Amino acid sequence: MWFEARRWAYRLTGRMGLPAWSREATELVSLILFVAKRIPTVPGRTIRARERVLLAALDIAQSEAARDALARRLGVSAEEARMFQDDLLRARAALAYRTRPG
């Protein structure tokens, strides 16, 4: 699950236009994987890595605590962290639309 989740997280940062090994992409992937691990499981149903990463991205894009964490980790202002959140939300929507089943 970990490698697949990491791959999907890097797909999100790629959609955001961040170089794969940039500091911003690395920190964002780390935060996405941290949040994705904590998504609760539903008894009798497995949640795929793609779904976990997309849910984590949605959570990060809407959370003030995540904005503070991004600002602290990247050493940027809260407004710049908010722009990262907006870009993440757009990338998540594009990736979810592109990879939707059916």
What is the reported pLDDT for 101?
66
* pTM summary value: 0.89
pLDDT band at residue 41 using 50, 70 and 90 as cut-offs: confident
Query: Per-residue b/e over 54-71, b at no fewer than 16 CB within 10 Å?
Result: bbbbbbbbeeeebbebbb
Q: What is the mean pLDDT of the chain?
A: 91
Within 8 A by CB and 6+ apart from 72, the residues are none
Q: DSSP string spanning 25-62?
A: HHHHHHHHHHHHHTSPPBTTB---HHHHHHHHHHHHHH
